[in-house]
Amino acid sequence: MTKEAISLITAFLYSILVAFFQLNYFVLFPIFIVLIKEKDYIFNIFKKLFFLNFFIIVLVLFVLFQNKAEAIELFIRTNLILLFSISLFYKSKGYDIVRALDSLKFPSKLVSVFYFTISLIDYLLIDLKKTKNSLKARGFRANTSMFTYQTYGNIFAMIFIKALKKSEDMKYSMNARGFVDKIYFLNSSNIGFLDKFLFFSVVIILLKVVYELFS
């Protein structure tokens, strides 16, 4: 098993622990461990979590009108899962998840779909960044005018067209190389002590909670 695989399993088990069982102070322990591991990036991790909360708050507001307690609980659970996952995969690229799926013996077609999807998203993000820098260099300022809406409409239309063209180019390129469903990856890094400790900590806490639930 690779480092990426054990990280993915750990994130999955922690998500189950937080999402489906009663919350207690034990769930903070894995977060504490992973934040110590990524102590040099704590500010950036919380910054990313802050921006993701804009989407979470919209979801919580819908629940808030029906049940205030459930809305608060949803907010806490979602943030715990996001904080743990962001911290765990902060220095990882999207391709590490693909590597993890391959290590866990997922079907080769599914692994390939994830790989090409991430590759296409990566390409589109780079292109979007270039377009943004180009608009900034030309003195473009966003406002509520019709020109701004037309500009954004043209940008999204061009990105959509480029996405279709890029996908076709990827298809022809892989066919020319004799690609048949499976992607081969280079050897991954070894599993560190903290990765193992974090994994077993989540497993032990999950087993403890399940035991208390059924005892």
Q: What is the pLDDT of residues 172-200, one digit of tens each?
A: 887 787 777 777 776 666 777 788 888 88
What is the average pLDDT across 144-165?
81
Which pLDDT score, from 0 to 100, does residue 12 have? 92
23, two tokens: 């919350």
* Highest mean pLDDT (candidates 20-24, 42-46, 119-123): 42-46
30, two tokens: 């894995």
On whether the CB atoms of residues 89 and 96 are closer than 8 A, the answer is yes
Which pLDDT score, from 0 to 100, does residue 188 have? 61
Residue scoring higher pLDDT (110 or 80): 80
* Highest mean pLDDT (candidates 39-43, 165-169, 181-185): 39-43
Percent of the chain with pLDDT strictly greater than 70:
97
3-state secondary structure 78-115: HHHHHHHHHHHCCCCCHHHHHHHHHHCCCCHHHHHHHH
pLDDT beyond 80 at 1: no
For tokens 């608009």, name the residue: 135
- Helix extents (H) in the chain: 3-20, 28-37, 42-64, 68-88, 94-103, 108-137, 146-176, 193-214
pLDDT band at residue 13 under the 50/70/90 scheme = very high
Which pLDDT score, from 0 to 100, does residue 189 have? 63
Which pLDDT score, from 0 to 100, does residue 142 have? 75
User: Distance between CA atoms of 125 and 131, rounded to whole angstroms?
Assistant: 10
CA angle 186, 191, 193 (to 5 degrees): 160
On whether the CB atoms of residues 62 and 111 are closer than 8 A, the answer is no
For tokens 């994994």, name the residue: 199
Q: Residues 151-160, buried b or exposed e (16+ Cβ, 10 A)? A: eeeebeeeee
User: Distance between CA atoms of 128 and 6, rounded to whole angstroms?
Assistant: 33
On whether the CB atoms of residues 181 and 107 are closer than 8 A, the answer is no
User: Distance between CA atoms of 129 and 150, rounded to whole angstroms?
Assistant: 19
